[in-house]
Structure 1
Amino acid sequence: MADEFAKGLAIFMGAGLAWLTLAGWYRTPSFEGSGVQLVAEAPEPSTVYGTIGVVLMDVMAWFAVIGALTFWVVIPLFEQARASYDERGS
C-alpha cells in the first residue's frame, strides 16, 4: 500500500508542479493588483508552442487528479476485492 501511495503522491506533485508553472505563464495576466492569478481565462495562443502549453496545462490538471485517485483509491480497491474473492473461494 505504501508503494501505491508513493506513486500517487509523485504523480500528484509532478503534474501539479507542471500545472502550476504553466498556469503561472498563461493564466496570470498581471502580478500587480489584478486579484486573479492562476485561474483567469487563458488568452488565445498565437503560436503552436502557446497552444501546446495551454493544452498541456489542462492535461496536467486532470492527470494530477485522476492519476492520484487511481493509485490511492482504484488500485487498492481492486486489490482488496481480489483478496476478498480469493479468501472466499478457498
Structure 2
Amino acid sequence: MADEFMKGLALFALGGLGWITFGAWYRTPSYYEVVQLVNAPEGVNTVYGEIGVLVGDVLYWLMILGPLTFWILIPISRELRGSIGDDAAN
C-alpha cells in the first residue's frame, strides 16, 4: 500500500512541477496579474511553443489523474476483487 502512495505522490509532484514550469513559460503574460497559469497561451507561434503548451496540459492531467489512479482506483479494484473472491469461496 505504501508503494502506491509513493507512486501517486511522485506523479503528483512531477506533474505539478512540470505544469508550473510550462505554465510560467507559456501562460503567464505578467507576474503582476492576478490570474496566472490558467490564462490562454499568448504569443505561441512556433511548433516548439505548441509542443510546450501541449506538454504543460499533459502534465496538468498527470498531476490530477496519477494520484487518483494510485490512491483511489487501484485500492478500490483490489477491494472489489477480494470481495468477489470471497463470495466465490462461499
The answer to which of 17-26 and 43-52 deviates more is 43-52
The two structures have a TM-score, normalised by structure 2, of 0.90
CA displacement at 1:71 relative to structure 2: 0.6
Distance 1:57 1:88 in 2: 45
- Unaligned 5+ segments in structure 1 are none
Q: Which amino acid aligns with 1:66?
A: L
Aligned to 2:8: 8
CA displacement at 1:35 relative to structure 2: 2.2
The sequence identity of aligned pairs, in percent, is: 48
Paired residue total: 89
- Unaligned 5+ segments in structure 2 are none
* Secondary structure class of the residue paired with 2:12: helix
CA displacement at 1:44 relative to structure 2: 4.6
Aligned to 1:76: 75
Q: Which amino acid aligns with 1:70?
A: T
Aligned to 2:42: 43
Aligned to 1:29: 29
Q: Would you identify which runs of 4 or more consecutive aligned residues in structure 1 move more than 4 Å?
A: none
RMSD: 1.2
